[in-house]
Each structure stands twice: as C-alpha cells, then as structure tokens.
C-alpha cells in the first residue's frame, strides 16, 4: 500500500495566521491553485481513490486534485477540535501544552492529543487491512497530520510530539 497524506490547500485563515480547527471554510484562490498543481504531480502515481475530511477546505482540495478516481469522506480525518482557540491567532495557542501526550490537556475545549492519535491510528489500521494493494491519497488538516508520524515512529518517551505541521498542499508519503 502507498499512502499520500495531504494537507488541504490554503485558506484566508492560513493567510491571516488564524487557527481554523473545525471552522468550516473554503479554500482561497491560492489554495485551489496549490491543489491543481499537486494534482498534476500525483497524476503520475496511479491513485486508486481519495479519502477526505468532510470539512470544505479538504473536500475542495480533494476534488481540485482532478485525479479521476472515487472520493470518499471519513469523519476521522476531521481537524482537531481547537475549542476556544478557533479563529484566534496561532500565537495564542500553547503548542507544547497541547502536544504533550502524557498531559493530554483538554482545557478550553481542545480535543485531547491522545484522542486525536487514537483516531488517526484506527484510520490507518483500517486502511492497511482493507486496502493493502492500493495507492491512496488522504486529504486532511495540519494539526491532525502532524500526528501521522507517531503511528510509524511511535510516541516519544517524554510524550512531547514535536513533528512539524505540513505546509498547505504538502504531503507525507508512506509505503506500508
């Protein structure tokens, strides 16, 4: 199995450096162009299907890839709930606190990191069982996708998740 974990294209919130969370907003013009450009690159990969978060920015990215394959939605790919931080500047969010697996903070309505990692782990396990011979594009969000490497590399002993957020329309590739 080959999987391309793609972060959605750019939005106006990204340009303003605001936290989106589950706020359901559209791609902007640049985001649509990013998705089209990435789609041209992925066309040579013979993708079997796309699975996308149901949020509009992810769906618009999935469709704008123009890969001529089925697109499915999966709620497990939705962005991390950011509670009171949604719509606020990125600088207001305490990344170390909310990325500490052992602390698993849920303050201010933020979804606990352990729950987020559990969601993506179940999703990847199901992909491996049901689609072992497939080439798949998974379109999701920055906060969720930063935890994909934890599936493959494990949780650091100190519990501090330090993986970087992908830029818009960047992807992680894994051959499983």
Comparing CA positions, the residue from 131, 88, 125, 130 lying closest to residue 110 is 88
Whole-structure pTM value: 0.96
141 included as an active-site residue: no
State the catalytic residue, choosing from 8, 60, 111, 141. Answer: 8
* pLDDT tens-digit map of 76-113: 999 999 999 999 999 999 999 999 999 999 999 999 99
| Gap between the Cα atoms of 44 and 41, Å rounded | 6
* Domains held by the chain: number: 1
Q: How far apart are CA 73 and CA 88, in angstroms?
A: 27
Q: In Å, what is the CA distance from 115 to each residue of 27, 40, 105?
A: 27, 34, 11
pLDDT averaged over every residue in the chain: 97
Distances (CA, A) of 73 to 26, 115, 117: 16, 20, 19
Q: Please check the confidence at residue 161 and state whether its pLDDT lies above 90.
A: yes
Q: Which domain holds residue 37?
A: 2-175
Q: Which of 60, 79, 111, 141 is catalytic?
A: 79
- Does the annotation mark 8 as catalytic? yes
Check which CATH number belongs to the domain holding 20 and give it: 3.40.50.1240
């Amino acid at each position: 199995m080959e999987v391309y974990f793609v972060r959605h294209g750019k939005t106006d919130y990204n340009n303003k450096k605001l936290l989106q969370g589950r706020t359901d907003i559209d791609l902007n013009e640049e985001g649509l162009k990013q998705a089209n450009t990435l789609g041209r690159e992925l066309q040579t990969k013979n993708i079997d299907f796309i699975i996308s978060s149901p949020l509009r920015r992810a769906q618009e990215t999935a469709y704008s890839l123009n890969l001529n394959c089925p697109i499915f939605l999966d709620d497990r790919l939705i962005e991390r709930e950011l509670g009171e931080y949604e719509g606020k500047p990125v600088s207001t969010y305490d990344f170390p606190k909310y990325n500490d697996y052992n602390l698993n903070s849920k303050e201010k309505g933020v979804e606990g990191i352990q729950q987020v990692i559990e969601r993506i782990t179940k999703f990847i396990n199901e992909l491996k069982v049901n689609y072992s011979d497939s080439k798949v594009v998974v379109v999701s969000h920055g906060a969720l996708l930063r935890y994909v490497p934890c599936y493959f590399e494990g949780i650091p002993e100190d519990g501090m998740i330090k993986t970087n957020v992908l830029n818009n329309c960047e992807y992680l590739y894994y051959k499983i």
